[in-house]
A and B are shown apart, each in its own frame.
Chain A
């Protein structure tokens, strides 16, 4: 009804409604036709949908990018670090971090540091470092030079090189995060430690993933005795407080094992004890899914259990699995850090963040040289990034959100 009729005094008398006839040609498909945006959304694959949803989660996206960068960096750790991580600068024991400055005497000269004057303080038996502000030393970038101590490294232990992204000036120093008790550059050691600390997480999670899917899958699919046994094992493993158990197992590793075997041993220990959570998730999903028609159909057609589980059942919640695996990586990294910190895990000459933090266990050293705590920063950052990434993935994998 139009406004004009409603305002006339004699409004009670009904008038016929305006009759509208669309002149546009009739399209029988109109109701089912999708706009291009809708089409893009409805016809995308499950993975594409996940990506579309994930992309909106900015924090998770940036965490993912950060993690990719960090993991890429372990391929070329030696190049990124300004020094070889084992080189001992015997003249610079416990040198504090050097500040990078841009302006000298009011004029811009690019990133530079002031060199250190070292004096031995005989009263407190420590080195005193003062900056020589008259002599700025410009940093060099993308340099191939061996005119400063500790520039030569072995790339992955394969060949020698002295190409670095950043180098100190000829004969100068650049201890961005200070040096430790043997005069080794902490920044270089942190960059190098990433290689071990980050791979522990990946290998450990792979072990736990394989175990969790196999055992959880078997328990969920077959049920009965298998289920009961797996359940008991899960219960037993979960009854142990993880850290004391890790401690006991790593203490059981013979001392004469080579560092690389110890490294593998630690990862296996971390992986072997982490799978119950995943197995539980897989089991409960499979318990429900194996009753679905498509699973029964596959069974009637004579598919083997392995095929049904791997080909039909698992793919329906792979995205969830990936999310939970992402959330499991940090606990591995933290586990390795904790063990090495206690001196039960990796040991020098292998360098990981936990091994670096082991030096910070001596509290008196930390009180005097707080920069020994720097290796904690990458641990926290990486773990945070994994948490955000995992959260984002989980939200993206949830079809109901």
Chain B
């Protein structure tokens, strides 16, 4: 097992390296860089940018140097000093800008995954056990609509309805007066109070997909011979369901973390822009627009890292939980 974990971790290294190169290329793609934007801004105001400022930027961030040198500089900072770079827009190190938002993103994603599991599990089991019942049809239809509705639209509609009925805005993730306050117990509670809207909005499509997969898997299991045998021998219906088939059908719950996590993170990016949540989404959009390259790059990098870690966790959990997966046994072909 330890062997497997180590091998799995080693595979992550080249993946993350390639990701970092890709991220760097992507954030370098727009013509010009932040320095040209900055010089332009100063010129528009009729001022001259100080030569020492330019020199500072050039020296520390390698502007004007070839791309690979800038990349190495960036990577050196991350690996040796844990320094993600500097956000030009906020004039702060990226880590300071990102910190709180990253925490909120992880919190929202985590709660959403829990929500998806809690909702999808009973509904999926019900749909499979009562296949083709009116309840199954109704839930399937709701699920399909959930899959088909882009979640930013759902967010818009919810905001509209909440505004019509209660006159209150459901945007944001904390109360206004606590927005700029440092993280505290009070703020945490306020976040929890606001969390349900984004969680429902982001979780809908994931839940719908999960219900369909669980239903399909459970149906496959329910038609297998061992279930028929158990039933013929008079095992109680409850036990015939929970003892074996359900356990088998649960695998996608764990295996899917790898699929659901990127989905939820991308979903939350756009939903948080619509609902103006204080997560990474709006800031990423802003950073992309202003070519605040290290900020944008760090967001992409950390989001990709989260996904890779999620995949790792789901692989490990699956290896522990599913006895059919034999580690080390190579596939024959």
Chain A contacts to B: CB under 8 angstroms: 223, 232, 235-236, 238-245, 247-249, 251-252, 254, 287-288, 291, 330, 334, 337-338, 341-342, 344, 357, 360-361, 363, 366-367, 370, 373, 376, 379-380, 383-384, 387-388
Contacts and interface: CB of A to CB of B under 8 A. Distances in A.
Nearest to A254: B31
A236 B19 contact: yes
B269 A251 contact: no
Given A248-B288, A337-B150, A341-B152, A239 B308 contact: yes
A279 to B, nearest CB: 16
Interface residues of B: mostly helix, strand, loop or mixed? helix
Interface string B294-312: 0010011001100110010
Given A236-B15, A243-B267, A367-B163, 9 more contacts: A242-B262, A251-B289, A252-B30, A338-B150, A338-B270, A341-B270, A360-B156, A367-B160, A367-B164
Given A248-B300, A287-B333, A380-B148, A239 B262 contact: yes
Interface stretch (B21-29, B92-100, B225-233): B21-29
B305 to A, nearest CB: 8
Contacts of A344: 285, 288
6 contacts: A236-B22, A241-B262, A242-B262, A244-B281, A342-B285, A363-B156
Contact of A244 (B22, B30, B300, B333): B300
A383 B151 CA distance: 13
A96 to B, nearest CB: 15
A239 B307 contact: yes
Given A383-B148, A384-B144, A373 B157 contact: yes
A244 B145 contact: no
B153 interface: yes
B145 A380 contact: yes
Nearest to B303: A241
Nearest to B264: A241
Nearest to B305: A239
B269 A232 contact: no
Q: Top 8 A-B pairs ranked by shortest CB distance?
A: A243-B266, A252-B29, A251-B288, A241-B265, A383-B148, A241-B266, A384-B148, A241-B262
Interface residues of A: mostly helix, strand, loop or mixed? helix
B318 to A, nearest CB: 16
Contacts of A287: 333
A240 B262 contact: yes
Instruction: Identify the interface centre among A232, A249, A342, A360: most chain B CB within 10 Å of its CB.
Output: A342
A247 B284 contact: yes
B18 A244 contact: no
Interface in B83-99: none
A366 B157 CA distance: 9
A388 B307 CA distance: 30
Contact of A240 (B27, B157, B307): B307
Contacts of A361: 274
Contacts of A238: 262, 307
Contacts of B266: 241-244
B147 interface: yes
A252 B296 CA distance: 12
